[in-house]
Structure 1
C-alpha cells in the first residue's frame, strides 16, 4: 500500500469517526485542535488504526501522533504492508 492509499484509508476513518467532510481532511489536520478529539475519541481511533493496518501502537507512540500526516507516517513504517 502506498502513502496515498494509506492516507485515503485513514481519512475515511477520520471522516466516519469524527463526522467531518472527507474532502476537508488534509495531512496537517490536528486531532485535538481541528477535530476536538478527546482522549477517548483518540484511543478509539488508535485502536481502529491498529485493526485496519495491523500496526501495534503503544501509548508512547500514540502520544506523538498529533496530525493525520504523522499517523500516515507511523502506519507506513509499522503497519502490515499488504
Structure 2
C-alpha cells in the first residue's frame, strides 16, 4: 500500500504527464479545476491513470467529490487493496 506521500507524488507525476501541471504545484490543498487548471476531460484521464497506478476503482459518482488533491489522496488511501 502506498503512503500518503507516495500517493501525492504519484498524482503529481500523473498530473504532470497528462495535464502539464508542474509537480511542485501539486499539494493537498490545491483544487484540480481552479488551482491546477485541469479540465473535465483531463480529469477523467488522471482518474483512470490513478486507478491503474494505485489499484483502486474510482466510480464516476465519486469523481465529482474529488475537488482537491487532498480529497483524491484520502480516497485512494482509504480504498487501496
TM range, smaller chain = 0.7 to 0.9
Q: CA RMSD in A?
A: 1.2
Structure 2 Cα separation of the partners of residues 29 and 16 of structure 1 = 18
- Give the TM-score, by structure 2 length: 0.88
Unmatched tracts of structure 1, length 5 or more? none
Structure 1 Cα separation of the partners of residues 5 and 36 of structure 2 = 21
Unmatched tracts of structure 2, length 5 or more? none
Structure 2 Cα separation of the partners of residues 79 and 44 of structure 1 = 19
Work out the number of aligned pairs and report it.
Answer: 80
Structure 2 Cα separation of the partners of residues 8 and 57 of structure 1 = 18
Provide runs of 4+ in structure 1 moved above 6 Å.
none
- How far apart are residue 13 of structure 1 and its match? 1.0
- Provide, for residues 24-50 of structure 1, a one-character-per-residue CA deviation record: whole Å limited to 9, x for no partner: 221111111112222211111111111
Partner of 2:45: 44
Structure 2 Cα separation of the partners of residues 42 and 24 of structure 1 = 16
